[in-house]
Structure 1
Amino acid sequence: MLPQAERIKVLSAGIFSLILAVGIARFAYTPLLPIMQQQARLGISAAGWLATFNYAGYLSGALIASQINDLHLKDKLYRTGMVLAVLSTIMMGVSSNLFIWIISRYIAGLSSAAAMLLGTGLILNWLIRHNHRSELGMHFSGLGLGIAGCAAAVAFMSQSLDWREQWFVFSAIGCLVLIPALRWLPAPDSSALTTSGKAMEDNPPSALFLKIFMAAYFCAGVGYVVSATFIVAIVDRLPGLAGKGTLVFFAIGIAAAPARIVWDLVARKVGDLNALLLAAVLQIGGILLPVAVGGLAAAIAGALLFGGTFIGMVSLVLTMAGRYYPTRPAKMMGKMTISYGVAQIIAPAITAWFAAHQGGYASGLYLAAGAMTIGVGLLLMLKIIENRETTQLTTTRQADT
């Protein structure tokens, strides 16, 4: 197989893994949430706790990924995670018991970590090893395709199928997507050299840089999770927008699908940290537009901004982790995602508390925007630290010569 064709096949395995584990197993819940509240009597607070358990599963997966160095073990866990993604989706339809749903959401979180961290790490390792550019724009388009596809599917199926039947349809689609997600990702190569014979060496950041980076990513996790989980329910409750939440969620997916490729190009021009800063500022606008301005146009514009930036931030951070640790990219990815995952456990619970006391989720968007503002400040600090450390390294090298 030609190198470029092989690259596309491997990246396609990643796309399908994200459609399955993050799109179907995770994000089908978001457009189905209002339907489950109407038909399955899912309460507001319970809906928030289901999201919390999903992210608890994701955090557990991140903890596991951060501790594993063996590429072959990562490959086995990735494949197990893809099967669990299908199982967790089936579980949502076979019962209306809240405890079963909690287990399902936790397993879905584990499977999404398998795709986002283990799968992404394996693919990035493969790209570097085979002398391809270490960019994941095409791979992460699976997130946007999964979100948009789930939103479109729910909008279409809701005309004739109830909540349970829709989960079964998603389960069937998941079984089909599972095949390329497993078959098209080759077994990992654990040698210390690329195919051209170049040594693969890690170049970790300083401890201070990593701590602030993790804090900034925590803020990004808060900024992401509220909209990603509750945007359909939020929009449906806004004046004049009843029933428009799924359309807004679809817009998030449409914007997210090509966004990471765009952010790859932006990062090439201005650098990774500058690209992260720009994405964070734009995301604040995307989070606030639906509630601060109101109306369908503002909600869709906010969705496009949010969808076009949250995936850019995730992919940029994970790509940076892979560049720091090319021999074991999932290790730092896991550490970063622990920070991101903790935020995704805390924020839905807080949002659910607001919703229970105020009758809606909109206050959560202000919480998300506030966290993102703090994140922007932390990213600016990283710029200062990076410039200082680069200057010190240059001075040291000049002194050595």
Structure 2
Amino acid sequence: MQPAAIQPRAATPFNVWRATVSGAGASLIGIGLARFAYTPLLPAIIGAHWFPATTAAYLGAAKLGGYLAGALVAGQLARWAKPATVLRALMLLATIAFVACAAPVSFLWFFLWRFVSGISGGALMVLAAPTILSHVPPSRRGFASGGIFTGIGLGIAASGTIVPILLRHGLTATWLGLAVVSLLLTMVAWNGWPEADAPVHVAAAHHAHAHPRTFPAKGVRLLYIEYGLNAVGLVPHMIFLVDYVARGLGKGVDAGAQYWVLYGIGAIIGPLACGHLADRTGFRAALRAAWLLQAAAVAIPAIGLGPVGLMISSVVVGAFTPGIVPLALGRANELLMHHPSAIKAAWSRATTSFAIMQALAAYGLSFVFSKTGGDYTMLFVIGAAALVVALAVDLFGALRAE
């Protein structure tokens, strides 16, 4: 009697909802908590004398430097192991970094682990969405993309509500509490990642067109510049908003955290709102509107329009912090609609440009803050100017193309 043939185990069906939850969890941990929770923590770290004010600002910039490194090495990591394995490891790495920051061992120790946290966030940003979207039918990619990037806003809002509560028990308890939240999210996301390679029709479409280097480069290069300048414009709020309210305006950490919650609320609705705007106007027009609105919102703290103005500023800048991502990705798709094989490479370069300019701005603005004796106004002026330049670059590029 011949032994029965062993049937291969059927692959687990891909679940868009579950994968989107995993992607949202990754962006929530890697960006929402690992990066943005430091903003409401900054005044408390200074107040507890863990590090002086100028040093603590540089520690915030360490995260952004790591983000750049993560964006650069993400592709190599994905070649070493399956994307699902890499994504799980990155989420665990972010969790470990929270634990490592629970005690001010030394400036170098803290800087290292903030940098490692940034690596995790940058790599998650580059890998999570493409890993999921390559398996999602085109008709559902808008939903999945919006859900994934909404995780950033959820993390920002969570950092603004959880951190003040945890801080009542001390800084060490706060860092450990964030680690617990991160671990729970990692467990929820664990089995949601697609294990198999992208569907055959996706891979075939990827190779059916010209080599990535053959696409029309001019418009895409301008997008890299504009997206990088947008990163500069976001840095003042990302790093200094809570500290500005708490110490610059003298309102205290709790008041600063309240504005950070508004920032987070804006970040939750931002990706979906920006996507809706782009559907109605096109991605180029939506990007121009985004730069104009952001420039005005970033300038508000420098002008001094009172609490209402600061509330508007927090919500608007918060909305565009994750909202600019689908707009830039959509614009890249518009520019390369006849060269789909080039989109992935272009998005990787755009993300790297964003990370480089964000890191440079973080270090540069920390230096300006130190040298000007804590002048917050200058920080917001520089951020607004960068966004005006981004708009000017796009308009100038359009005139040259005509």
- For 2:114 and 2:53, locate their aligned partners in 1 and report how far apart those are by CA, in whole Å: 16
- 1:114 Cα deviation from its structure 2 partner: 2.2
Asked whether the 8 Å contact 1:75–1:118 carries over to 2, the reply is: no
What amino acid is aligned across from residue 242 of structure 2 in structure 1? Answer: V
- Alignment of 1:357 onto 2:367: no
- CA displacement 1:129-173 (0-9 Å, x = unmatched): x65334611211101110010111122223x21111100011111
What amino acid is aligned across from residue 223 of structure 1 in structure 2? Answer: G
Q: Are residues 150 and 64 of structure 1, via their aligned partners in 2, closer, same or farther at CA, if it must alter by over 3 Å?
A: same
Asked whether the 8 Å contact 1:120–1:330 carries over to 2, the reply is: no
Gaps of 5+ in 2: 1-12
Describe how 1:246-325 pairs up with structure 2 within 5 A. 246-321=257-332, 324=336
More divergent stretch after superposition (240-249 vs 333-342): 240-249
2:132 counterpart residue number: 123
- 1:127 Cα deviation from its structure 2 partner: 2.0
- 1:227 Cα deviation from its structure 2 partner: 1.2
Asked whether the 8 Å contact 1:352–1:361 carries over to 2, the reply is: no
Describe how 1:55-134 pairs up with structure 2 within 5 A. 55-65=64-74, 70=79, 73-128=82-137, 132-134=140-142
Asked whether the 8 Å contact 1:124–1:134 carries over to 2, the reply is: no
- 1:102 Cα deviation from its structure 2 partner: 0.8
CA RMSD of aligned residues (A): 2.6
1:26 is paired with a residue of what secondary structure? coil
- Alignment of 1:348 onto 2:362: yes
- For 1:327 and 1:90, locate their aligned partners in 2 and report how far apart those are by CA, in whole Å: 41
- 1:252 Cα deviation from its structure 2 partner: 0.6
Q: Report the identity percentage.
A: 24
TM-score, structure 1 as length reference? 0.87
2:237 counterpart residue number: 227
Asked whether the 8 Å contact 1:255–1:305 carries over to 2, the reply is: yes
TM-score, structure 2 as length reference? 0.86
Describe how 1:61-210 pairs up with structure 2 within 5 A. 61-65=70-74, 70=79, 73-128=82-137, 132-134=140-142, 136-158=145-167, 160-194=168-202, 199-200=205-206, 205-210=215-220
- 1:329 Cα deviation from its structure 2 partner: 5.7
Q: Are residues 319 and 66 of structure 1, via their aligned partners in 2, closer, same or farther at CA, if it must alter by over 3 Å?
A: farther
1:399 counterpart residue number: none
- CA displacement 1:285-305 (0-9 Å, x = unmatched): 221112312422221110011
- 1:67 Cα deviation from its structure 2 partner: 6.0
2:193 is paired with a residue of what secondary structure? coil
More divergent stretch after superposition (68-77 vs 275-284): 68-77
1:366 counterpart residue number: 381
- For 1:151 and 1:35, locate their aligned partners in 2 and report how far apart those are by CA, in whole Å: 13
Q: Are residues 350 and 365 of structure 1, via their aligned partners in 2, closer, same or farther at CA, if it must alter by over 3 Å?
A: same
- CA displacement 1:302-350 (0-9 Å, x = unmatched): 0011111222112222344467476686533321122111112211222
Q: Are residues 268 and 376 of structure 1, via their aligned partners in 2, closer, same or farther at CA, if it must alter by over 3 Å?
A: same
1:13 counterpart residue number: 22
What amino acid is aligned across from residue 82 of structure 1 in structure 2? Answer: M
Runs of 4+ in 1 over 6 A off after TM superposition: none
2:395 counterpart residue number: 380
Q: Are residues 202 and 26 of structure 1, via their aligned partners in 2, closer, same or farther at CA, if it must alter by over 3 Å?
A: farther
Asked whether the 8 Å contact 1:152–1:250 carries over to 2, the reply is: yes
Asked whether the 8 Å contact 1:125–1:329 carries over to 2, the reply is: no
- Alignment of 1:216 onto 2:230: no
- For 2:321 and 2:185, locate their aligned partners in 1 and report how far apart those are by CA, in whole Å: 24
How many residues are matched?
380
More divergent stretch after superposition (43-52 vs 14-23): 43-52
- For 1:334 and 1:214, locate their aligned partners in 2 and report how far apart those are by CA, in whole Å: 10
Q: Are residues 188 and 221 of structure 1, via their aligned partners in 2, closer, same or farther at CA, if it must alter by over 3 Å?
A: farther
Asked whether the 8 Å contact 1:66–1:333 carries over to 2, the reply is: no
Asked whether the 8 Å contact 1:15–1:139 carries over to 2, the reply is: yes
- 1:68 Cα deviation from its structure 2 partner: 7.3
- Alignment of 1:336 onto 2:344: no
